[in-house]
Amino acid sequence: MSEPLFLDRVETPIGELLLVADARGALCALEFHDKPERWRRDFGRRFANAGFSDKRGLFGLAATLKRYFAGDLAALDAIETAANGTDFQRACWRNLRKIPAGTTTSYGALAKKLGKPAAMRAVGLANGANPIAIVVPCHRVVGSDGSLTGYGGGLERKRWLLAHEARHAGRDLLKKAKHA
C-alpha cells in the first residue's frame, strides 16, 4: 500500500480549494473544488493506489493559504510541495516558484531559464499539468505580448490572483496584461 494522503478544503475569495498532503505535510495537490473534471482525472492518475483521510487544518496549510489570501504573499514560500511529474515538469514547477509575487513572466522566458529556449510549448504543457495551483504559481505566466493565457481555474481567477498580488506587492500587473 502506498503512503497515506490527507485531504482538506479551504474557502477562499475565489472559491473552495481542495488540498492533498502527504504524511510529512508536503502539499501534493491543490485544485479548485468546482473543477471536478480536472481534479478527479488528475487525482485518479496521480493517486491511483492512495488511501485518503480527512484532516482539518492539514498541517497548517489551510491557515497558510488564508494568510496569502489576506495579503501575506510570502506565506506561500513556506509551503513544502511534493508533486509527481517528469524531470522536465518538476524543473518547470521549481522555476514557477521563483517568480516573485506581483510579477509575471512568459512561456518563452521560462523556457530560456530552463536552458531550452525553443521549448515554449513544452513549458506551456508542463504549466498546464501543474497539480498545485497558486502555491506553484502558474497563474504568473502570461503570453509573450502580456495577454492572459489559459488557466486551469479559469481566466477570471487568474485575473483575480494577478490583481491580488499586484495590490499587495504594490504593482499593477493588469495594466501590462491584456485581458482575454
> Grid coordinates standing for 19?
488540498
> Grid coordinates standing for 168?
499587495
Task: Tell me how many helices (H) and strands (E) the chain has.
Answer: 7, 6
Please give the backbone phi and psi of residue 139, each rounded to the nearest 5 degrees, phi first.
-65, -15
Give the Cα separation of 108 and 116 in Å (integer). Answer: 9
Q: Which of 5, 109, 138, 177 is catalytic?
A: 138
Q: Strand (E) positions, 4-160?
A: 5-10, 17-22, 27-32, 52-54, 105-106, 141-142
Give the Cα separation of 66 and 53 in Å (integer). Answer: 22
Let me know if 92 is a catalytic residue.
no
Q: Give the residue numbers annotated as catalytic, written as ranges.
A: 138
